[in-house]
Each structure stands twice: as C-alpha cells, then as structure tokens.
Amino acid sequence: MVNRFNRLTSKEWLPFQKSWFRYESEEKLYVENLRFFCKAEPTEEAVYYQGNHLDLVKELALGQDIQLVDKDSFTSQSLQFALLDLREDVYQLNSIDDYNSYRETVLDIAEKIYNQLIHRRFLCIFIPNIQTADRYYPYAWDLGLQLSSLFSLKDEKIACMPESIDVQDMYFQPPNQTFYALYFRKDENSGGQLVERKHNLFQSHHKDLNVRKFQNKIPSWFILKPAPRKKDEVLHPAKYPEDLVTMFVYEFTEEDANILDPMSGTGSTQVASLKAGRNAYGTELSDFFAEIAQKRCQNLVQPTQADMFLPANKQQFKLINKDARLISVGDFPLIDYLITSPPYWDMLNMKGAENQAKRLEKGLQTNYSESRDDLGNIADYESFISDLVQVYINVLDVMKSGSHLTIVVKNIKKKGRNYPFAWDLADKLMTHLDLLPEVFWCQDDINLAPYGYGNTFVSNTFHQYCLNFRKP
C-alpha cells in the first residue's frame, strides 16, 4: 500500500530516516530529498528550488514528474516542497556583516515560501557552519533558530563528507566535512511570522589566542561503536564510549593533565583518562553510580586480581558523590580539560522513549534517580537548561584559563516537537566561553524505526553533538 505523504512503500521510506548520512554526490543528495518530500505523480503542486544546481534539479524533477518553479513564478503557485541550497553562498561570505545581510534575503524568501506552502509540507535548507581564521560561526544554528518563529523546526540531518587530510594548525580545527540539512514544516504549531530570535552565538571573547599547537586528529564526524558493557556498567542507562573520551583527551591535553567530569555516571571519563596517563576527577549525584565509578578507578590504580592485566597506574583520581552545582574551589586541583555528558532533559522519564521498553524488560533502571537534584528530573525545558548552564558556569571556577571543554549532547524531539538542546546550550554558554567547531559522534549500530510513516518526516536521531569550548 502506498502512503499519502510521498507514495513510498514502508521499505522505501526507511533509508531516509537516519539523522546523518554519508554524502556521496550532489545527485544523490537531491534525488533522495526530492523523492522523499514530493509526491512523484502529475500534480499542480509545485516545488521551489534555489541554489547552484538548477540544471541538475531540473533534470531530476523532469524524471520524477515534478513541476519546478523559480523566483519569478512561484508566488502564484501552491508548493508541496521547497529546497534552498545555501552552501556555496555561505562558503563565500567574508564576514558576519555579509552573513547578516545575506540572512535578510533568505528570511524574505522563506516568508514567501511559507505563504505558498501547503499545510504540513516541508522547507529544506542545506547550510554549513563556518570556521574562519580565528572564529567559528554557527550560521546553520542561527538560521534554524530564526526560522523557528515562522515554521516549525522539525528535524535535521547531518551530511558527512569523506574526511580530508589532517590540518596542521595552531587552533582546534576539524576539517569541516559536514553540513546541515534543516527541515521546517508549515503546520498547526508554526508561528507564521518572523520574530527575531536574539542569541549569543556570534559572540566571541578570545583576543589573545596564545594556545598550544593542536594535533588536529579529531575528524568532523566519526562512528564509534561502544565495546560491550560489563555487568555493573550496564546498570547505567546512558553512557558514552571510553574511546570517545580517549580521542578528545589526546587532542586537548598533555600527559599528567587534570581532567574533570562533573556528571561522571559510572566513570567512563575517569577510566579513559587514567588509562591515557592523565589524572581524573569528577562528581556524580547518584551514590549508586558514584560507587561503581569509584571501584572502576580503584581497580585501575591498584588492580584487583581479576583486573591484573591492566597496567598499574600512577595517576591520581578523586570522585565526589555530590551535586555538580555545588562544586567549589578546593574540591579539585586546577583542571586542564572537562569532558562530560548531561542528562538529555527528562527524556529518560518518557516511558515510550527509545530503549526504555528494552531496559524495563530486563529489569534495568530506566532513569538516573528519583532525586529532585537530578537534572534529568526537571520537566520544564527552560528550567532544565538554566540549571545545567549553572553547572558549567560554576565549574569554570576550578578550570584553568585557556582550558577546553567538550559537552556531548543531542537535539531532542519530544511529543512531536523539536527542541534544539545542543544549540540552546551553546547559546547560553557563549556569554562565558568561546565556541569551537562541533564534531559529530555518529551511531551506525541501531535499527531504524519507520517513525511518521505515511504522514510526515521524523528521523531516528543517531548523531550526537560534541560541543567544544575554550575558557577565555
């Protein structure tokens, strides 16, 4: 049976659902998007395209029976889809002023698209974030936030291009081999009016970048499959792989550096740091997880019989079972690098959420704790973000000037709405920190679910942001 949204069968529907993809060619990129967001059949409903590949898109549209319209004629047409490819334009912008005036023209066209777009149909925008010689400009996030007042921001996919050669540079500079495909829908929740969204994303503090030389071994995206978890580690519902920590620790620190994770969970950060010859520090609210983390570190520093194969480690570690909001000077020595991952709002309390059913079946704990101090139990989004920001701002008191931070997060979809948690968090932190390029941890080992089948586009979120900052 075919569906109303795009006439694809459920088997054809599925491959588009992953929230990141390997970019192979312009043709494939366009074919997949046109095919997913258009009904491939003769119809009066047109498609608006703007970008540098008009000839290619014309040819593809012809092949799919799609009526393509341009700038001059689309304002009298009903649109089933609109695609703005801003990549080439944005790569060529020379300054933030250039971007601001370019943005005006994009917002203007987006308003016109909104007026013509059929209810519950999509606008897609391809746009990168941009690294200049000494600043990082998250243009994609800005445009996503600005257009959220007009449309409903529904989803994003990360285009992952083949990795280029190592860059040797003073600055942390991943090779920028990704761009964003942002998906907006005109629907019952869209505001229908552009309201400027004020944010700090273009702010910068650094003046004197007297920094160490970076190896720049971190790619702009990578796939990591966590090693199978041991019995006590499985008890924690949301861990990140130690390999991820190792990669960042080598990039951002020297041997013997002091590394901190204010929300340690079962101690992935500390275990990876100790194994890499660094000192490891942390806090964790749950006494249950803090104890597991403590034992894992202890075993590394003074191996028990069972763990004798691990090298005895001369490094220091200290884990404190307490609320990260209460970390104070004196708890730890001055810190060189922080890597951490917070609760993803209260998503673990959402009974239907991915993974929850499976953990319940196995009798495993589905959230971190019932404590009111657990940030994963704050139901209001704004309060959650503001408490979390407080954790990071507070912790800056124990960090060295010029030190770096990596925060692993993702944008969140809850009850049909999209909350750009990663962008919002970066925005709030930029009053205190400098933003460095984000890199993506892409997951490739989870089965896709046909969310939204036949009705609308809802991706499976299989990419996490590793947000990077520097303390001025």
Judged by the rule CB under 6 A, the positions of this chain that interact with ligand SAM are 236, 238-240, 263, 265-266, 268, 283-286, 289, 323-325, 341-343, 368-369, 373-376
Q: What is the phi/psi pair of residue 229, to 5°?
A: -80, 145
| Minimum CB distance to ligand SAM smaller for 178 or for 464 | 464
In angstroms, give the least distance from the CB of 252 to ligand SAM: 16
CA contacts within 13 A on the Cβ side of 326: 9
Quote the tokens at residue 223: 């796939």
Our CB check for ligand SAM shows the closer of 199 and 296 to be 296
| 8 Å CB contact between 263 and 324 | yes
- Contact between 432 and 393 under an 8 Å Cβ cutoff? The reply is yes
Q: Which is nearer to ligand SAM, 6 or 253 (CB)?
A: 253
Residue 238 or 389 having the CB closest to ligand SAM? 238
Q: Whole-number minimum distance, CB 319 to ligand SAM, in Å?
A: 11
Minimum CB distance to ligand SAM smaller for 187 or for 373: 373
Say how far apart CA 153 and CA 418 lie, in whole Å: 6
Q: How far is CA 161 from CA 23, 90, 155, 244, in A?
A: 5, 17, 20, 20
Angle between helix axes 139-147 and 421-429 (nearest 10 degrees) is: 110
Residue 116 CB, shortest distance to ligand SAM, in Å, is: 43
Q: Which is nearer to ligand SAM, 38 or 272 (CB)?
A: 272
For residue 38, the minimal CB distance to ligand SAM (Å) is 39
What's the closest the beta carbon of residue 259 comes to ligand SAM, in angstroms? Answer: 13
Residue placing its CB nearer to ligand SAM in the complex, 220 or 266: 266
Q: Which is nearer to ligand SAM, 194 or 238 (CB)?
A: 238
Cα separations (Å) of 42 from 7, 39, 68, 187, 346?
12, 8, 12, 24, 45
Q: Which residue has the closest beta carbon to ligand SAM?
A: 265
For residues 286 and 392, give the distance between their C-alpha atoms in angstroms, rounded to a whole number.
18
We find the least distance from the C-beta atom of residue 245 to ligand SAM, in angstroms, to be 8
User: 323 phi and psi, to 5 degrees?
Assistant: -70, 125
In the bound complex, what is the minimum distance in angstroms from residue 19's beta carbon to ligand SAM? 19
Closest alpha carbon to 260 in 282, 234, 293, 235: 282
Report d(CA 210, CA 131) in Å as an integer: 18
Residue closer to ligand SAM (CB basis): 160 or 348: 348
- Joined together, the tokens standing for residue 185 give 């829908």
The C-alpha atoms of residue 221 and residue 205 are separated, in whole angstroms, by 26
Least distance (Å) from ligand SAM to the CB of residue 321?
A: 9
CA distance linking residue 113 with residue 81, whole number of Å: 9
> In the complex, what is the shortest distance from the CB of residue 413 to ligand SAM, in angstroms, rounded to a whole number?
18
What does the alpha-carbon distance between residue 366 and residue 447 come to, in Å, rounded to a whole number? 20
**Cα distances (angstroms) measured from residue 100 to each of 96, 97, 137:** 6, 5, 12
